[in-house]
Chains A and B, each alone.
Chain A
């Protein structure tokens, strides 16, 4: 199985700050990577697909990037509604695997 190492596990940031979360797969996954946001008591919501493509309806302050085998989710100008837990997901090969999650809080 492909292991997805996500960091940091938790993060506290201020309003309007730039936040970056990373995922490192244990083997190559191409661009078969998505990012999800999960708010407390809710189901995950798609933010980014294909490593860099913004999902429909997602604010443009969210962006995804890839540098070699490292994948990143960046939030520009953090807003109150961005708090929650963020997960990366690889669907390059089954079993699909998720990162361990990053809990994002406001400072």
Chain B
């Protein structure tokens, strides 16, 4: 079955970086995009961006340009998101989700979420 397995919780210091992974299984990795979503109690769900897993092409929410960097490793069917220059506002749960990129235009499978806590 389709699965997206994310890396574990991170505790990071302000100013540092973290890299979250999202390993896909149960489908052809390069047939779908991987999108990334941020969830906080205050801001709800926010779209960060998506990556074309075949070409590596990306789309970023302007709000997260310079903050998030999306990459893929096709050989391991894994997508990555690096968050840099962390501040407490980056504390959140981050989800990866599979997006079809065509009709019906859905994110139909999600990872379990990766919690990032930024604290000194």
Contact = CB atoms under 8 A, between A and B. Distances in A.
Interface of A: 32, 34, 42-46, 49-50, 53, 55, 87, 89, 91, 94-98, 100-101
Contacts of B29: none
B47 A49 contact: no
Contact of B44 (A32, A50, A91, A101): A101
B113 A43 contact: yes
Interface residues of B, number: 21
Contacts, number: 49
Nearest to B48: A95
5 contacts: A42-B112, A49-B104, A91-B105, A96-B35, A101-B44
A50 B104 CA distance: 6
Interface stretch (B9-17, B57-65, B67-75, B76-84): B57-65
Given A97-B47, A100-B44, A43 B111 contact: yes
Interface of B: 35, 44-47, 59, 61-63, 95, 97, 103-108, 110-113
A98 B59 contact: no
Given A94-B59, A95-B62, A43 B44 contact: no
Given A34-B106, A55-B106, A87-B45, 17 more contacts: A34-B107, A43-B95, A43-B97, A43-B110, A45-B110, A49-B104, A50-B103, A50-B105, A53-B104, A91-B105, A94-B47, A95-B63, A96-B47, A97-B47, A98-B45, A98-B46, A98-B47
A interface: dominant SS: loop
